[in-house]
Amino acid sequence: MRGFPAKLRLRTGLFLAFALVGASALTACADLDTALFGDESSASASDAAFPAADAGAPPTAGASNNVSVPMPPPAGATPAGAAPVATITPVTIASGADTGTQVNKTIQAIRAQVSGLQQKIATNAGRLADLRNQGAAAASAYQNSKARITTRLQIGTTRGNPELVAEWNSAQTSLDSVSTNINALNALGTDITNDSSGAHFALNQISATMNVSGAVDEDHRQLTLLEDETSQTIVVLDRLLKEISDTVQRQTAYAANERANLTVLANSIKAGELYGALTTPVPSGALTSQQLASNGQPLVVIKFDRPDIDYQQQLYAALNQALQSRPSAGFEVVAVSPSKGNAASVQIAQTTARRHAQDVMRSMTDMGVPASRLGVASTTDAAANTSEVRVFVR
């Protein structure tokens, strides 16, 4: 690209960067099982996915008596809309009389080159409009599938409901179409960048031809007019490139965010209930995750004083808030058992508390927390009347 302006080289670099983002950040899960039972090698993807959450359901009655957590505000995602494409009108290239000079033959060759770019501009503007419409249609199909899943989960359903699994796979297919659309936009951006390179080359040729001897006044008049038309062509190409750049950035952010939401939905389908940020406001005087981490107080305290304690919603909300404040946070899961009674009863209580701690850790990994970020410990507490699990930020 030697000899072209620095602005053009920078623009080409930007589209290469977008292509890399589209290839690396938007890799789809193979299926629902991959999202639910991914191995530790996918921990980095879980790290990025976990903080994002859909608006969820309030906790079931009685759960708040056993789980004390700060409640985060609701979070949501804004879908990528199909903003109208700016009007792109090819430049009209005026013809010129043949003066019979050698300079005029060069002018005619350059004029043919610039005229050829106008047809490419019209074609590429149409491609851009089609791709944006296709992206909007794919996003709409994805949102419809997502809405059907969250509605079913909101009212309650069975664990691993196969109907929701099929709907989830349909949602992923639609989101894959958004990713494919981004790759097509990047390819279109590369084509237009090449056209822009040709336009700049033609402009340089015009400037050089101005200094060639043997031209008549009509040749210089035609060169001046062609120079203006070529400059206008470059402006139109720049506008097309900006349209593509904006669309790629918007759809890339949308797809990455919705990949995270798909992971949350996958875990929700497995549990048969909707995980997500609760709509309950943060209680007055509640401690933030940073305060909890700094003063040694637990992020979550779950008391197992009766069978079938429903703690997942509150646990998810607390973890979500902690990771929003500190994306690299780890967690210590502590099994707490009463120290009252004889040695046998204390031993039984410790075993029960450790089993509850393992259950809580499995719930956390299902919610997307990598196992490498989790630690487990056990202790006794004379003030405890029943088995407890306390989760600390570390």
Tokens (6 digits) for 345: 């009863």
Sheet holding 331-338, edge to edge: 67-68, 300-303, 388-393, 331-338, 374-381
CB 181, CB 251: distance < 8 Å: yes
| Three-class SS state of 328 | coil
Is pLDDT of 365 > 80?
Answer: yes
Q: Hey, what long-range contacts does 31-35 have (CB within 8 A, 24 or more apart)?
A: 31/169, 31/172, 32/165, 32/168, 32/169, 32/172, 32/266, 32/269, 35/262, 35/263, 35/266, 35/267
Tell whether the model's pLDDT for residue 382 goes beyond 80.
yes
Reported as a single tens digit per residue, the pLDDT across 251-304 is: 998 998 888 788 888 888 988 887 653 333 333 334 444 444 455 788 889 988
Return the pLDDT at 381. Answer: 87
Those residues with Cβ within 8 angstroms of residue 212's Cβ, 6 or more apart along the chain or in another chain: 103, 106
Task: Quote the distance between the C-alpha of residue 349 and its chain's center.
Answer: 45
Q: State the pLDDT at residue 295.
A: 56
Q: What CA–CA distance (Å, rounded) separates 230 from 195?
A: 12
Q: Running DSSP on this structure, what letter comes out for residue 287?
A: P
User: Residue 379 phi/psi, 5° resolution?
Assistant: -160, 170
Find out whether 46 and 368 touch, Cβ atoms under 8 Å: yes
pLDDT digits (tens, 9 = 90+) for 131-171: 999 999 999 999 999 999 999 988 888 989 999 999 999 99
- Of the candidates 252, 140, 122, the residue with the CA atom closest to the CA atom of residue 185: 252
Integer Cα distance of 297 and 287 in angstroms: 9
Instruction: At 270, list the tokens.
Output: 């497995």
- Joined tokens for residue 178: 């958004």
Position 26 scores a pLDDT of 39
Write out the DSSP string of 140-157. HHHHHHHHHHHHHHHH--
Residue 312 binned pLDDT confidence (cut-offs 50, 70, 90): confident
Tokens encoding 173: 């297919």
Please write the tens of the pLDDT for every residue from 286-295: 444 444 445 5
Report the C-alpha gap between 337 and 384 in whole angstroms: 7
Contact 193, 13 (CB under 8 A): no
**pLDDT band for position 65 (cuts 50, 70, 90):** very low
